[in-house]
Amino acid sequence: MSIEEKVQLVNELYQNLESEIKTFQTETKLSCVVGCGKCCSTPDIDASPLEFLPWAFHVFMEGEAEEKLTVLNDTTAPNCHLYQPKSIEEYTKGQCSDYKHRGLICRLFGYGATTDKYGQLRIASCSIIKEGQKENFDKSTIAINNGLAIPIFTEYYMQLTQIDFRMGNVFVPVNKAMKLALEEVLQYYNEMEKWYGSLPSFEHEPIQFANKVKLYKYYKEREDDANRTDTISNNQ
């Protein structure tokens, strides 16, 4: 499966999740506090490289992949690279610098549920929502255990791994996850460039670039089919 296809499938998964979250918010009236970045500022968040593949692909298409990779290689901060705090003094107030391409963990937290040891669903949320919206939060906790639909962490991560098991089944600190996603995209297009000898600029020649990608995908699929046929023949 090509990088482009994986990105499309991950984005489709995110669209389904957004729809489910909107329904959940409408039913429960739960919402994040505007300008709050407490969960984003939490250090040592783990994520999979696959959930940041759309971000890495976007960065590559913007011509910033190598620059971003250098920054991530040099950073030692445990906090998410995409988080922009309002100030050092108000570090838990801020926003995501690329909210559209945030990871699955970022989307699920606050509006997703886990299952406890007793088989009960628990909303994975922060103390600000649990305490500041206590009445709605308590009612929502009861409701999800009585049939109200809510995104389930394990179900969405299972769907993610079905797109690419290798990239979706490993969990590392969030900045490393972004780094691995960037390396995956860069390796893919570097191999394509070696195959062609050179690639047109996506920024200046998007149509030519897209045609090269389609042709490369076609030949790789034919190559994979031939390899599978050879393997079957050799095993007979």
Positive or negative, the CA dihedral 12, 61, 81, 36 is: negative
Q: Which domain range does residue 84 map to?
A: 3-196
The pLDDT of 151-176, averaged and rounded, is 95
**What does pLDDT average to over the chain?**
89
Q: Is residue 14 part of a domain?
A: yes
Confidence of residue 104 (pLDDT cuts 50, 70, 90): very high
122 and 213 together in one domain: no
191 and 204 together in one domain: no
168 and 209 together in one domain: no
Phi/psi at 77 (5° precision): -70, 135
113 and 213 together in one domain: no
For the cut 80, the answer to whether the pLDDT of residue 107 exceeds it is: yes
pLDDT at 76 (0 to 100): 86
Total domains, the chain: 2
Tokens (6 digits) for 233: 């023949």
For the cut 70, the answer to whether the pLDDT of residue 75 exceeds it is: yes
pLDDT at 194 (0 to 100): 83
Q: What is the pTM of this model?
A: 0.85
184 and 214 together in one domain: no
117 and 90 together in one domain: yes
Tokens (6 digits) for 203: 């920024």
Model confidence pLDDT, tens digit, residues 181-212: 999 999 998 888 888 888 777 767 878 888 88
For the cut 80, the answer to whether the pLDDT of residue 54 exceeds it is: yes
Q: Is residue 123 part of a domain?
A: yes
- Looking at per-residue confidence, does 207 or 231 come out higher? 207
Tokens (6 digits) for 171: 């969990």
227 and 153 together in one domain: no
159 and 224 together in one domain: no
47 and 18 together in one domain: yes
Distances in whole angstroms, Cα of residue 28 to Cα of each of 17, 66, 136, 139, 155: 16, 43, 6, 8, 21
Q: Is residue 236 part of a domain?
A: no
Q: Distance between CA atoms of 68 and 121, rounded to whole angstroms?
A: 38
Q: Is residue 19 part of a domain?
A: yes
